[in-house]
């Protein structure tokens, strides 16, 4: 009924400093950014500004010329990629780094350039990344298969185009501010950095700090980034994200704030995959 029955915490936000995790510890959400991006798309759909059957190319024209890798050559896509494909990850857009997939390695080259420009005077923007990935070949024809990949990043660029504002501004206005998610965003302000968690990886020598820029996201997350990743870029806290999750559990509202209609939440959270 919206009442917290149990809260538990464990572990350290900063091992070296002995700083334990707390309710207000700010952490990198990585792929838990994706549900937020899906809700943003649903908001625009409710308002009649975004149709799930619209081709992505309506908003980012390069996607109208999409090609697909078949063996060692590219062929024209059988149909346009749609907004629904982005939401369901049936777009054919892969993440980089899979040597067995030519499309993945082509995407990897784009992300390597993105990373190389992160700290320069000409960083890659959300829309530029989308346009660059749109020029890459797909792993399969849209709708023919499913693959976890960069679909949510492209969807963030689509939301920018439809809303006429930066993706971060849209999220702040339509989701974070109404829900009181005051510690959620694409970077950590200086006055909150003492609450920011470190990331660690398991090595043969034990836990070590993992301080690598990942998927075009600056590890330190200082200052507003040019690329606002709808798939992995947000930071948040336990309490902030619980407000977002509770809103969905409540059918689209939290307190007196309504983000989505109950029917939209039911549609968003229902199965969309084909039987096979």
Mean pLDDT, to the nearest integer, of 51-80?
Answer: 97
pLDDT(274) > 80:
no
The pLDDT of residue 103: 98
Distance CA 172, CA 181 (A): 9
Residue 125's pLDDT is what? Answer: 97
**In this predicted structure, what is the pLDDT of residue 273?**
73
CA–CA separation, 179 and 156 (whole Å): 20
Core vs surface per residue 188-200: b (16+ CB within 10 A) or e = beeebeebbbbeb
State the angle between helix axes of 151-163 and 126-134 in degrees (0 to 180), rounded to the nearest 10: 120
- For 214-268, what is each residue's pLDDT tens digit? 889 999 999 999 999 999 999 999 999 999 999 999 999 999 999 999 999 999 9
CA pair distance 227, 125, nearest whole angstrom: 4
| pLDDT of res. 276 | 59
Taking the C-alpha atoms of residue 133 and residue 154, their distance in angstroms, rounded to an integer, is 8
Would strands 73-76 and 67-70 be described as parallel, antiparallel, or unpaired? antiparallel
Query: What pTM value is reported for the model?
Result: 0.95
Q: 152-196, pLDDT tens digit by residue?
A: 999 999 999 999 999 999 999 999 999 999 999 999 999 999 999
Closest CA to 224 of 264, 169, 158, 162: 169
Would you place residue 88 in the very low, low, confident or very high pLDDT band (cuts 50, 70, 90)? very high
Model pLDDT, residue 2: 78
């Amino acid at each position: 009924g919206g009442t917290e029955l149990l809260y538990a915490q464990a572990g350290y936000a900063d091992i070296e400093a002995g700083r334990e995790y707390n309710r207000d510890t700010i952490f990198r959400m990585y792929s838990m950014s994706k549900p937020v991006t899906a809700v943003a798309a649903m908001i625009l759909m409710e308002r009649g500004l975004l149709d799930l059957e619209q081709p992505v190319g309506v908003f980012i024209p390069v996607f109208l010329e999409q090609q697909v890798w078949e063996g060692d050559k590219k062929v024209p896509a059988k149909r346009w990629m749609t907004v629904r494909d982005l939401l369901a990850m049936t777009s054919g857009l892969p993440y980089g780094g899979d040597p067995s997939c030519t499309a993945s390695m082509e995407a990897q080259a784009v992300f390597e350039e993105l990373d190389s420009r992160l700290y320069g005077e000409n960083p890659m923007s959300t829309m530029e990344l989308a346009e660059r990935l749109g020029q890459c070949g797909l792993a399969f024809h849209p709708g023919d298969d499913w693959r976890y990949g960069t679909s949510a990043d492209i969807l963030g660029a689509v939301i920018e185009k439809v809303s006429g504002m930066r993706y971060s501004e849209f999220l702040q206005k339509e989701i974070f501010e109404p829900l009181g998610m005051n510690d959620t965003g694409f970077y950590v302000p200086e006055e909150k950095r003492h609450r920011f968690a470190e990331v660690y990886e398991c090595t043969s020598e034990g836990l070590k700090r993992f301080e690598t820029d990942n998927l075009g996201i600056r590890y330190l997350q200082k200052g507003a980034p040019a690329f606002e990743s709808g798939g992995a870029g947000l930071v948040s806290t336990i309490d902030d994200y619980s407000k977002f999750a509770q809103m969905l559990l409540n059918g689209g509202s939290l307190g007196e704030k309504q983000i989505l209609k109950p029917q939209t939440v039911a549609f968003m959270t229902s199965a969309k995959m084909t039987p096979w």
